[in-house]
């Protein structure tokens, strides 16, 4: 990805991040402050304490005066539209994402993940936002839990929003990636805590997962802006690892207790299902899935680094992924996760490949 394209695209622009006080939002804000020159960064979230903490944390940056904090919920359409007025780009990261919580509170998950997504779309159209990227999850591919099902609905809403934008030039796209190492709820902090006891809980010894660092996730989202035309669902090329191998990297001498799969939990994760392959293209450092039904699909293929149609029987899952992390590579990532220099440049997504 040509970084100059992104530099030019973001310069003097106003960017709004929903769920901006979360793990992704904070990492994205730091990258925008340190590597680009936006006019303003708007943080939209519902927790005033997290906003206060984030404001204090980011006050160390000399250009922190471009940060704007808006208290609000994506469920509140009026407040969301007020916060979005004058924004050029929107990154929609707000979601209820804990699988057990969504299963126990299904209507709340629907209100935030689906209806909240609809509010983001409507506000972006009403405010003539230029581009919107919505964050998704591997659990939205062949979903078996409510969280994945709500995100699949959200993905469809954002992709098809390009169909009914009318005379508006707003473009909507989605990014779907796997487990983020430094995000809240990751198994890595759990294993680190359990390692103190000498015993780690494993749901299934055959389980595999995709892995991406928080910094790489941010880079993937931002570098989708220059190439997106509206309607694409972008998927990064990232490595897999067995959960048992991850556990051994964290606590090589610990004992394992197999507890069995939890409700709504998959043995292996999918980023592109076989049914999606017919609409999937390889464009270098990532894949994209074009919408199944879109009258206004813009086929300007020159905008992508390369375009190769994947086979119709293609599937991208964490078990059959040809790219697996070695123990040494995971140890390096864990070391960066714990000790990395916070001022360093975020690596390109491709650098995660072994």
State whether residue 338 is helix, strand or coil: helix
Question: 133: which 2 tokens?
Answer: 């990227």
User: Each residue's pLDDT tens digit in the chain (354 positions)?
Assistant: 455 589 899 999 999 999 999 999 999 999 999 999 999 999 999 999 999 999 999 999 999 999 999 999 999 999 999 999 999 999 999 999 998 899 999 999 999 999 999 999 999 999 999 999 999 999 999 999 999 999 999 999 999 999 888 889 999 999 999 888 866 667 888 898 899 999 999 999 999 999 999 999 999 999 999 999 999 999 999 999 999 999 999 999 999 999 998 888 899 999 999 999 999 999 999 999 998 765 556 667 888 888 999 999 999 999 999 999 998 888 888 877 665 444 333 333 333 332
Name every residue whose Cβ is closer than 8 Å to that of residue 320 and which is 6 or more positions away in sequence: none
What b/e string do you get for 73-89 counting C-beta neighbours within 10 Å, with b at 16 or more? bbbebebbbebbeebbb
Select which of 26, 30, 97, 139 is catalytic. 139
The first and second tokens of residue 354, run together, are 């072994």
Would you say 126 and 81 are in contact if contact means Cβ atoms under 8 Å apart?
Answer: yes
| Homologous superfamily of the 3-178+212-238+271-317 domain (CATH) | NAD(P)-binding Rossmann-like Domain (3.40.50.720)
Name the packing angle between helices 48-58 and 23-35 (round to 10°): 30
DSSP string of 83-136? Answer: HHTT-SEEEE------HHHHHHSHHHHIIIIIIHHHHHHHHHHHTT-SEEEEE-
Q: Is-contact 21 51, C-beta < 8 A? A: yes
Nearest CA to 290 among 227, 141, 298?
Answer: 298
139 is catalytic: yes
- CB-based contact 146:266 (threshold 8 Å): no
Tell me if 117 sits within 8 A of 154, measured CB to CB. Answer: yes
> DSSP 3-state helix, strand, coil percentages of the chain (rounded to 5)?
40, 20, 40
């Amino acid at each position: 990805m040509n970084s100059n394209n992104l530099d030019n695209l973001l310069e003097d622009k106003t960017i709004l991040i929903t769920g901006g006080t979360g793990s992704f939002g904070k990492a994205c804000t730091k990258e925008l402050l340190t590597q680009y020159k936006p006019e303003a960064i708007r943080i939209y979230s519902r927790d005033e304490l997290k906003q206060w903490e984030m404001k204090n944390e980011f006050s160390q940056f000399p250009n922190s005066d471009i940060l704007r904090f808006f208290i609000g919920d994506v469920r509140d359409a009026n407040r969301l539209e007020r916060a979005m007025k004058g924004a050029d780009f929107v990154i929609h990261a707000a979601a209820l994402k804990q699988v057990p919580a969504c299963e126990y509170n299904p209507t709340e998950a629907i209100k935030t993940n689906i209806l909240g997504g609809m509010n983001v779309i409507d506000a972006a159209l009403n405010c003539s936002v230029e581009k919107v990227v919505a964050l998704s999850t591997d659990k939205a591919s062949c979903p078996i839990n409510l969280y994945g099902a709500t995100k699949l609905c959200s993905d469809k809403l954002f992709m098809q929003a390009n169909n009914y934008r009318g005379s508006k030039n707003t473009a909507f796209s989605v990014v779907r990636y796997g487990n983020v190492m430094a995000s809240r709820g990751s198994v890595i902090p759990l294993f680190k805590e359990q390692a103190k006891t000498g015993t780690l809980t494993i749901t299934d010894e055959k389980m595999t997962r995709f892995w991406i660092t928080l910094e790489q996730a941010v880079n993937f989202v931002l570098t989708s802006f220059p190439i997106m035309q509206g309607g694409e669902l972008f998927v990064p090329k990232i490595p897999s690892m067995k959960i048992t191998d991850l556990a051994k990297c964290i606590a090589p001498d610990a004992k394992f207790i197999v507890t069995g799969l939890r409700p709504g939990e998959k043995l292996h994760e999918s980023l592109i299902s076989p049914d999606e392959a017919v609409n999937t293209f390889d464009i270098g450092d990532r894949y994209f899935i074009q919408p199944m039904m879109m009258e206004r699909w813009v086929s300007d293929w020159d905008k992508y680094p390369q375009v190769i149609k994947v086979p119709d029987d293609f599937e991208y899952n964490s078990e059959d992924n040809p790219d697996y992390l070695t123990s040494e590579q995971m140890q390096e990532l864990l070391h960066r996760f714990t000790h990395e220099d916070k001022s360093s440049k975020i690596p390109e997504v491709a650098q995660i490949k072994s």
